[in-house]
Amino acid sequence: MGQVIPSEHERGGIDRLVSNRRLFDGAVAAADTSDPIVRQEIAALETGYRIGRLLVYREALKQAPTGFSAATKCFCTEHEQRVARFAGHVFSLDGTLDDELGRSIAYAPGYTIMGGTSNVMRTILGERVLGLAREPR
């Protein structure tokens, strides 16, 4: 499998996936589930949680190639943004009045920056996992 990069597990840890699960659960409870579009979005987000969990398990069980944490980090942080966007739609302006909820929604863009931007993660995937040529500088 190759050498383990020290920041591997830090990038793709379970915390990336569950940090806003409570936000998602609250948004689902408040959402208009009679709307088929809302139900589809809830299903897509729940599916994202399950896919993310499988990615994290694969890493924790050392079944992933070196550099794969970049894929997990990229998927999970972009999923966190989708959850925050959904919660923002559900709670609308009322969501900004609650400190914790407002902070969760406003902080979402930072998820894909911490630990390396999504573009950096994609470059790592291309070079280290897929063996593509280095990006020209």
Q: What mean pLDDT comes out for the span 100-124?
A: 78
Higher pLDDT, 124 or 75: 75
Is 54 a domain residue? yes
Among 5, 122, 110, 16, smallest CA distance to 65 is for 5
**Residue 3 is assigned to a structural domain of this protein:** no
pLDDT, greater one: 127 or 31: 31
Cβ neighbour number for residue 76 with a 10 Å cutoff? 27
Residue 110: band (very low, low, confident or very high) from pLDDT cuts 50, 70, 90? confident
pTM beyond 0.75: yes
**CATH number (domain holding residue 14):** 1.20.140.10
Q: What is the pLDDT at residue 10?
A: 55
Q: Residue 66 falls within a domain, yes or no?
A: yes
Residue 79 is predicted with a pLDDT of: 92
In a domain, 112, yes or no: yes
Which residue, 78, 51, 62, is CA-closest to 9? Answer: 62
> Residue 2 falls within a domain, yes or no?
no
pLDDT of residue 28: 97
User: Above pLDDT 70, what percent of the chain?
Assistant: 88
Decide if 137 is inside a domain. Answer: no
Average pLDDT on 73-92 reads 89
Tens of pLDDT, residue by residue over 46-66, are: 999 999 999 988 888 888 888
Q: What is the pLDDT of residue 93?
A: 72
Number of domains the chain is built from: 1
Between helix 21-30 and helix 36-60 the angle, nearest 10°, is 160
- Could you tell me which residues come within 8 angstroms of residue 6 by beta carbon, excluding any fewer than 6 positions away? none
Owning domain of residue 28: 8-127
CA distance readout (Å), 128 to 38, 54, 58, 65: 38, 21, 17, 9
Q: Is residue 133 one of the residues assigned to a domain?
A: no
Asked if residue 134 belongs to a domain, the reply is no
**What local confidence, expressed as pLDDT, does residue 11 receive?**
58
